[in-house]
Every structure is written in structure tokens, then in C-alpha cells.
Structure 1
């Protein structure tokens, strides 16, 4: 009798309402983690603005909508943010443990755990190099940027303040680059950064091995799991077969740029990109040509229409695919300039606060996560979008407010569609 009562109680706990409320509780925790990550990355930012930005990011439609459903997206984002935050605090063992949990929730998180580990290695080496043989006031020039402390960069901005008890000098995640006119003749960019990482990494190999061995253990365990399971996924392996879906990385760029439109599709942003291209010609134009050619090849040869995408008309991607991309044979090619612009804008914004090798790691992690996925699913873009927004260091309140209005508008429309436009299929009861 007692056993039956316990079973009944467990059944009540697993009711639809209770299970759906789990993500609502997790969403509150996610907001706190977003705030903590913002303040850890940019400690000179005052608390009111950090809270303001955290609230807006919490309204991100692809995250917000799933707080009302019982699915893994919210939990996956929370554990990733916790893992990222612990790595910023240099608590690598705890970060690796959280990475293992993130992988258990969603297997592709192994790539984002590897990204966090790699960027932590980059930060540690940059930190060591910056303090090696330099005075406290000296700057380290890398590529075409001079790394300075946020204290120097933000002191003139009334929206920022110094925080007591936080070191802003010895943490590379708190470094904000500033472009210099002389740096182009001093270093040759990405190749020099890679060389610096390799050389200094070799000198610090034992320190790095000790600090980051927990990540290697998780990675080895994941490789063993894939060998045992025969696939990276636990569910329907046939439906999630690895495919060369290179167009997916283009869809991510435009979707992310659209959701953060005030940061990308403005006159000052277009002028800034044009000036950057003109300043670094002809290499920038060669890069633009290569990116455009690669994008054209991707949409022509590697645009995959997954059966789930074509069969399920309850999702926005179905209508975007049918009414936009497939509206005419030429549309997918006409969208290429927008894809390229979106990626160029993302890279340019990140490049103002991050080293080239960090931006390259971000692009590669996004590509390795998204390209093998044959299904066009905007949920897959959540983690790379949050990484971009947390590291973009754009503190124009008006743009954040406009983005918040955009998020609220999309959320209200989606909720209205979900509640008041139900589907009725004749073959379904």
C-alpha cells in the first residue's frame, strides 16, 4: 500500500504542469548566470546596466519560448553558462565537471566544452605573455590590436565604474583591444598569434596539462562513448545522421544577426565595416571574395532539406524554407550577400574585443557544431548566439533596448500563435 502511494506521488510530480514548470525555474537561474557572466567578463560595467543586459538576453526568443515547455534547451544553456563562468574564474576542475553534465544533456555540447577549454588556454597564455618582460603600464601589441586594461578603456565612459575587490589587470578575459595605426607593421596578424600560442604553450605545457587535464578526461570519456554507441546521438540515429550541411553555418549568421539587428543593420555599422575593409585592403577584399565563393558553393551543393523540415508545418523554419528560400530558384543565391555581411559583422564586432585566434576558435566551434546537423533548427543556434552577445562588448543602451523590444515582439507573436492558432489535422483526433 505504501509502495502504491509512493508511485502515485511520483506520478503527480511528473505531471505535465510540474514538468513544464521545471524550465520556468531554470530560466530564473539562467538569468542569474547571464548576469554573473557579464560582470565577470566586464567588471567595469556598472550593476544596473549589467542587470539590464541580462534581462534582455533572458528574453531571447529561442530561449524564452522553451521555458514553457519540458525540453533540454534551457538546461543545456544553463549548464554551458555555468561551465563558461567557472572557466572565466579559473576553476577549471569544476568547469570540466559542468562540461561533462552539459554533454549528458546534449551531446554536441562536447564541442562547446572544447571551445571553452581552448579559449581558456589562449587567455592563460596571453596573460602570461602580457606580464612577461613588461612594466605594469606597458601594452602588448598582438596582430593589429593593442591590449589594454578595461580600467584604461572605460574610465572616460560615465556608464562604467571600477569595482572594488576585482582585479582587472591580470585576467585576459577582461582585456579590451584597441586598434593602433602602427601595429600592422609590427605583427602580421593571425599567424603571429598562432605562433605565440604554440611557442608559449610549449613553455607552459606542464602548467597547462595540470590545469586542463579534467577537460581531457571528459573528452576521452566522450570518445569512448561514441565508440561504444556507434554515434554521437542517443535517439534516432538515422534522423540525425552526420551530413555536410555547410549552408547551416550561413543560416546561423543571418538568424543571429536578425535577432541582434540593432547591432548589425545600421548605417554606422555598415560604415564601420566599409572603413575596416578599406583600411586593410587588398586582404579584406580577398577574404570577401573567398567568403562569397564559399557561400555560393555551400548554398548550391550543400543546402539540405531534411524530411522533418518538409513534413512539420508547426515550426517557423518550415515557412521560411518554403516561402522564402524555396520561393524561387534564385532566392538562395540572392541571400548570399546577406549571409556574408552577417558573418563579417559578427567577426568584426568580436574582433574589437577578442584576439583573432579567439574569433577563429568561435567560428570553428560554431561550424563543427552546426554543419553536421542536417535539420535546420534555430534552437541549435542558442549557445553560439549567447557567446557572441556576451563577448560583443557593445554598451549602447539604445541598441540593447531596441533588441529587447524586438525580442518581446517576437515572443508575444509566438505565444499568440501557439495559444490561439492551433492545428487541426483531419487524420488526427
Structure 2
């Protein structure tokens, strides 16, 4: 019943907006001019004609075909019109909100149904996700597939998670990076279980050994660890790592069976990239990988800004001040190194893709032109804010990872390193600044941040109102503030 209430609540928000969008924008807009005809070819079972301007795999069209096949027996039902295809993303957004609910429930099993409902709906109203719910884009389906993959991973259903990662890659190829992240999360969970288990709870193959043989093997492994890691790292506060390695080694074949599907998916994707000659399917010249090292900095500022009550609070500044008080030398050294890296990234790798500076339909065009490019020093003045936002995001993840079952500080750090590595791997090669690319990592941060957030707090309601106001403003601009280009016919509209 609670899931039905959740779905009904989201539909109450979505259906009026969908009615307005379909009525005011009756023709395909922006990327829809590529996606809609391609989906309609699939509806006609034409799987061999491909638009060379489409960069993604046909996951969206295959899902649309499944929905079309499910209702094709109904007289007069055509699920391949523009409005019907757009409605598929509304259905996928319902899948997303149910996945948000399930992930939040996993992270906090004691949460009330009311809190689950409110948190899930607010997450579904996140402006980037909400806006593209009403257009035939790949974003909502991609988010749904990655969230399903992550949920299955949290539940230790690694074969299901790896299978869902294939669907995620079919929506957007960069989701292969989140497949690697899912593998890392699985391994971290496996190591956490190894740390928590006793010596008597070893792998089945090891239980048949005699105590003397088991002791001899354990002693040999300890000696090897002592040599490889070093006595200081091996002992004392790093005993958790010692226990994890010893127990994981004894269960290595079990781990291989658990995680082999991820490895197969990753290897298959790498083979595809080699065969295809690029990660994108079409328009390869316009989407070449580039060293866009400033992009992760934009992500941190954007994510922390959207989650400002959580990430830019006075408590965060107090925590940072406390770090400098407790370990001033280390904090100053870390800050200097981080600042140096950020300066290099901003100075040498702040890339302006031709699409960014030529297409005034996107908000990023105005942010780049009217903020970052107003003066040569602006991009450098933002560096301290970039650094603080990244520190705040990492700090919040470390605070909340215990709810995900990662209780060992060392493994919490490994989780954060895996997340940061995934963000870098997804964003750095992308030459174009697109807030849509931030959606998956944003949701990972937001879900863990929302897990213990009280729905009675002003922070929660501030973000709820923030999302509603931004959605209202952006949809108003999109629907009722059109403009025209002198060099191209048709109505243009503002879009994320």
C-alpha cells in the first residue's frame, strides 16, 4: 500500500506537467529529434537503420519496444507517438522513486513509512531528473538502471547487479564506470564481512582442514603480510586490514564466484570499445575523450550547492576548522597539495566545447559566459570553494557509510576513493559541461545524506522547497519563454 501511495503522489506531480509539456511542445525538441524517429523504427521492427548522430546504445528504444509490445494488443493503442514515448520516462521515473525508497529503507531499516514517502518524493523532484522525465531522453532510464544495480549490490545480489549493469550500459556507455564502482562496493562489503566473521566462519573448503594445518597456513599468511605490508602497518590500528586479508584469502573462491559477473561485463564492454573504436556509437568526432580535469570540480560545486543545507552548513565549516586545529601540519600540507592540483586543473584543463559556447539554449552557456568568463580571475577565485565542496562531500559520505554496512574506517575510505575515482572516470573524458552527467553521482551522495536526515528538520523542507521552486522556474522558462534564431527556423527553448 505504501508503494501505491508513493506512486500516486509522484503521478499527482507529474501528470499535470506532462499535459502542459505535450500540449505546448507538440514536436520533438533538441535530442528528441534523434531519439523519437529511432524509437519509431524499432516499433516497426526495423533494427538495422541507425541515425549516425545518436551516441548511445539502444537501451531506451528496447525498453520502449517492450512497453509497446505489452499494449500492442489493445485496439487503438499506439505507444510510438511522441506523447506516448515521453510517457515511458514517466513510468521509468516511477521505477526510480520506488528504487529510492528501497535504497533508503536498506540504509535505514528503522525509518518510518511517512519519512520514506517524503524523502523518496523529494529525491524524485531533483530538478535535473525531474525536467527530463517529460522528454524522450536517456537520462531517467539510465538513472533507474544504475540505481537498480546499486540496490542489488547493497543487498549482496551481485549476479543480479551485474545483469542490471548491462541494462545501464545500454542506456549510457559511461555507466560501465558505475559497474566498476559496483564491483568495488561488492568487494568492500565482502571485506567487511571478512573482518566481522570469526576464524571458525571460514570458507567451506577450509573447514575440512585439521587445526594444525589451518594454523600453519594462517601463520604463513601472517608472515607474508608482515613482510609485504610492514610491521607498523600490519599491527595495531591496522589489524582490521590484517583480518580482512586473511579471511578474504580463505574465501577467495567464493569471492571469485560472486564477482565474476562484474568482471565479464567489464571485459565485454572493453571489447566493445576496442571493436567500435570509441565509447560513443555515433557523432564520434564531436564526442572525443578529452582531459577535462576541471569537470569534477564543477560537479562538487553543483552537488554541494543543490544540497546546500547539508553540505554548506555552519557545522561543516566548524568541522573543517577543527581539523586544522587538531592536525595543523597535515591539514595545511593536504590543503596545499589539493589546491595545487585544482589550480593545474583549472588553468590548463578548463575546456570550452564548441557546443557550450555556441548553444544559448542551455543554462551552462550563461553560467560559462556570464560568470566564469566575466574576468580571467573568476575561475581561480572559485578554487577554494571547489576544494571545500569536495571536502564536505567526502566528509558526509564518511559520516553516513556506516548505514550502508561499511563500519570499518579503512573500508569507508576505500569506498570514498572508489566513488571519487568513478566520478573522475565519468566526468574527465567528457568534453562538454552537462549537468545531466552529474545525476548518478549526485544521487549516490544524496541517498546516503538523506538516510538519517529527519523529515521534520528545516534542512529537509528547505531542499524540498528549493526543488519545487527550481522546477517551477525552469519549466516556466521552457514552456512560456521561447525564442527564435535568425539562422535556423523553429522555436527554441531554454533547457538544462
TM-score band (shorter)?
Answer: 0.7 to 0.9
Question: Does structure 2 retain, via aligned residues, the 8 Å contact 1:79–1:99?
Answer: yes
Aligned-partner Cα distance in 2 for 1:260–1:325? 21
CA distance in 2, matches of 1:194, 1:107: 34
Q: Could you tell me which residue of structure 2 aligns to residue 295 of structure 1?
A: 342
Among 6, 22, 28, the residue aligned to 2:94: 28
Name the residue aligned to 2:60: none
TM-score for the superposition, normalised by structure 1: 0.82
Give the unaligned 5+ runs of structure 2: 1-42, 45-71, 202-234, 402-411, 490-496
Partner of 2:429: 372
Q: Deviations over 1:392-418 (max 9, x none)?
A: 344143212111111111111100100
- With over 3 angstroms needed to count, the CA separation of the structure-2 counterparts of 1:348 and 1:328, relative to structure 1, is same
Partner of 2:258: 211
Task: Pick from 259, 262, 265 the counterpart of residue 312 of structure 2.
Answer: 265
How far apart in 2 are the matches of 1:111 and 1:361?
A: 10
Where 1:424 maps in the other structure, the secondary structure is strand
From 485, 491, 494, the counterpart of 1:425: 485
Q: CA contact under 8 A between 1:262 and 1:402: conserved in structure 2?
A: yes
Deviates more, 1:403-412 or 1:283-292: 283-292
Shift of 1:196: 6.4
2:462 is aligned with 1:402: yes
C-alpha spacing 1:52/1:224, structure 2 compared with 1 (3 Å): same
Please give the per-residue CA displacement for 1:220-241, whole angstroms capped at 9, x wherever unaligned. 1111111110111112111111
The aligned counterpart of 1:249 is 296
Question: Superposed, which structure 2 residues align to 1:28-427 within 5 Å?
Answer: 28-132=94-198, 186-187=236-237, 200-354=247-401, 355-392=412-449, 393-396=451-454, 397-427=457-487
> CA contact under 8 A between 1:273 and 1:348: conserved in structure 2?
no
In the TM superposition, residue 131 of structure 1 has moved relative to its aligned partner by 2.6
Larger C-alpha radius of gyration, 1 or 2?
Answer: 2
265-274 or 68-77, larger mean C-alpha shift: 265-274
Aligned equivalents of 1:202, 1:131: Cα separation in 2: 13
By how many angstroms is 1:193 displaced? 7.1
TM-score (norm 2): 0.71
Q: Taking structure 1 as reference, are residues 341 and 264 closer, same or farther at Cα in structure 2, changes over 3 Å only?
A: same
Distance 1:123 1:284 in 2: 30
Q: Distance in 2 between matches of 1:198 and 1:132?
A: 13
1:157-191 Cα distance to aligned partner (Å, 9 max, x none) = xxxxxxxxxxxxxxxxxxxxxxxxxxxx9537xxx
Q: Distance in 2 between matches of 1:219 and 1:197?
A: 25
Give, in whole Å, the separation in 2 of the partners of 1:411 and 1:199.
51
CA distance in 2, matches of 1:52, 1:365: 29
Residues 291, 16 of structure 1: CA spacing in aligned structure 2 closer, same or farther, 3 A cutoff? Answer: same
- The structural deviation recorded for 1:267 is 1.6
Indicate if the aligned counterparts of 2:104 and 2:116 stay in contact, CA closer than 8 A. Answer: yes
Following superposition, the deviation at residue 198 of structure 1 comes to 5.2
**CA–CA separation in structure 2 for the residues paired with 1:309 and 1:426:** 19
* Matches of 2:302 and 2:242, distance apart in 1: 34
Q: Could you give the per-residue CA deviations for residues 28-84 of structure 1, whole angstroms, max 9, x where no partner exists?
A: 111111001110122122222122111111110110000010000000000111111
Deviation at 1:303, TM superposition (A): 0.5
The residue that corresponds to 1:19 in the other structure is: 85
Give the distance between the partners of 1:194 and 1:109, measured in 2 at CA: 30
Supply the distance in 1 between the matched residues of 2:327 and 2:76 (Cα, whole angstroms). Answer: 64
Larger mean CA deviation between 395-404 and 409-418 belongs to: 395-404
Check whether the contact 1:79–1:101 (CA below 8 A) recurs between aligned residues.
Answer: yes
Q: CA RMSD in A?
A: 2.3
Between the aligned partners of 1:309 and 1:134, the Cα distance in structure 2 is 59
Question: Are 1:194 and 1:357, in contact at CA under 8 Å, matched by a contact in 2?
Answer: no
CA distance in 2, matches of 1:17, 1:332: 42
| Greater share of residues in helix | 2
Match of 2:7 in 1: none
Separation (CA, whole Å) in 2 of partners of 1:288 and 1:218: 38
Q: For residues 285 and 359 of structure 1, what CA distance do their matches in structure 2 show?
A: 21
CA distance in 2, matches of 1:327, 1:86: 46
Pairs aligned (count): 372
How far residue 269 of structure 1 moved from its aligned partner, in angstroms, is 2.1
Tell me how far apart the structure 2 counterparts of residues 274 and 117 of structure 1 sit (CA, whole Å): 35
CA distance in 2, matches of 1:232, 1:63: 24
Contact kept in structure 2, 1:264 and 1:342, CA below 8 Å:
yes
Q: Find the aligned partners of 1:193 and 1:321 in 2 and give their Cα distance.
A: 47
Q: What per-residue deviation string (whole Å, max 9, x for no partner) do you get for residues 371-390 of structure 1?
A: 11110000000000111111
Deviation at 1:268, TM superposition (A): 2.0
Gaps (5+ residues) in structure 1? 1-5, 136-184
